[in-house]
Copies of this chain bind each other. A is one copy, B any other.
Amino acid sequence: MQSLVIHNVRPMGGEATSVTVSDGRIQSYGWHVQEGAELLDGGGAILIPGLVEAHTHMDKTLLGMGWYRNEVGPRLIDKIDNERMQRRVLGIDPARQSARQAVLAASLGTTHIRTHVDVDTEVGVAGIVGVLETRERYRDLVDIELVAFPQSGMLIRPGTVELMERALQLGAQVVGGLDPAGIDRDPKGHLDVVFGLAERYAVPVDIHLHEPAELGAFSMELIIERTKALGLQGKVTISHAFCLGMTDQDYVAALIDELAQAQIHILTTAPASRPAPAVKRLVEAGIVVAAGSDGVRDTWGPYNNPDMLERAVLVGLRNNLRRDDEVALALDTCTYGGARMMGLDDYGLKPGCRADLVLLDGETLAEAVVSRRPRKIVIKGGKVIARDGTASIPAP
């Protein structure tokens, strides 16, 4: 494979240098004459590692399907039920829709995605099959990791557990879960099944936990207990974790200590309208914090788009991260935080890391983040896959 030399880039906004890429990996920095290498002018752009979308739902985005008029009720269950219904009414094709999001995300500099894919007794594993198809077809654009996700509940809908197993057999890499008390009404039962699957299939765990305050904290304790009992430290993520934004600060402090000890990761979308984990505090406690867009333009809501620089801005706004070093922390949840959550060992800007890179137009790193201009160049596995906001492969 031909080497690639990108001249005049500023890693993380620092001093200008050149970076040499070969065999899909970062080889070295500094000026090297390399015969036959492809040359690329970085134009003084800021070099960052690929953006990491650590929580989304690619199987059910409505991108490109015409505007969905949202008239859904206010409860969580309203949105879950409505979505199952709309899947039939609108004809949401998981392969096509996940492909649309994959291409859009890649054009925005996202090189890795963890996506929670619905598994239920209506759709079965069709969502998993569709997203697996996208994962293979677009593997040169973006790495996709699938979570088998029991969106409609597991114990309350007999047959779901078997479908979850089937999803893992087919190739889903992570076992998901959802509000063990709130949806399945049986926190012990739900979590025993989730962790049982994790043990049997040797896969990590990622559980949606919207449960509020002390209820969410109880479910969180059950997750921590199981993580330790099964030796799954470093393999478990709690998504949303609204309860960490609860009023009882002593309880929050105790939970943070326990999460850190159990090496459980926290995923936030930085929701403006809900209590939410305090990113800086968690990071200071040594907890890996990742960020995600959640559902993009779906039946749940219209606002989200898969731009992880916009997500960094939302993380910054939600957590009042104003200083330049704090903006860098917000970005970190959308890069290194997600990579650590997903266990990507060869992620980053060091020589030897995979050449998954983004060139940002910006005066400083913070300026590039808040401006969110079209990505100048996106490189995946050492190859240019997007320029000026447009991916090299069109979306279906």
A-to-B contact residues, CB < 8 Å: 66-67, 69-72, 247, 270-274, 297, 300-303, 305, 313-314, 316-320, 322-325, 327, 363-364, 366-367, 370
Question: Are A69 and B322 CB-contacts (below 8 A) given A272-B314, A313-B303, A317-B272?
Answer: no
Bound complex: CA of A273 vs CA of B321, how far in Å? 9
Nearest Cβ distance between residue A390 and chain B, in whole angstroms? Answer: 16
Question: Are A302 and B363 CB-contacts (below 8 A) given A272-B314, A323-B70, A324-B71?
Answer: no
Verify A302–B322 contact, CB threshold 8 A.
yes
Nearest 4 pairs of A and B residues by beta carbon: A272-B272, A273-B320, A301-B322, A272-B318
Bound complex: CA of A181 vs CA of B280, how far in Å? 30
Smallest CB-CB separation from A300: which chain B residue? B322
Smallest CB-CB separation from A271: which chain B residue? B317
> A303: which of B302, B316, B325, B363 is its contact (CB, 8 Å)?
B316
Chain B residues within 8 Å of A302, by CB:
322, 324, 327, 366-367, 370
Bound complex: CA of A319 vs CA of B302, how far in Å? 13
Verify B322–A72 contact, CB threshold 8 A.
yes
Residue among A72, A313, A320 with the highest chain B CB neighbour number at 10 A:
A320
Verify B273–A364 contact, CB threshold 8 A.
no
Smallest CB-CB separation from A70: which chain B residue? B323
Residue among A301, A324, A325, A363 with the highest chain B CB neighbour number at 10 A:
A301
Bound complex: CA of A366 vs CA of B367, how far in Å? 29
Given contacts A297-B370, A302-B367, A303-B370, 19 further A-B contacts (CB under 8 A): A66-B363, A67-B363, A67-B364, A67-B366, A69-B324, A69-B364, A70-B322, A70-B324, A71-B325, A270-B272, A272-B272, A272-B314, A273-B318, A274-B320, A301-B322, A302-B366, A303-B313, A303-B317, A303-B322
> A71: which of B247, B300, B313, B323 is its contact (CB, 8 Å)?
B323
Bound complex: CA of A302 vs CA of B325, how far in Å? 12
Bound complex: CA of A313 vs CA of B316, how far in Å? 16
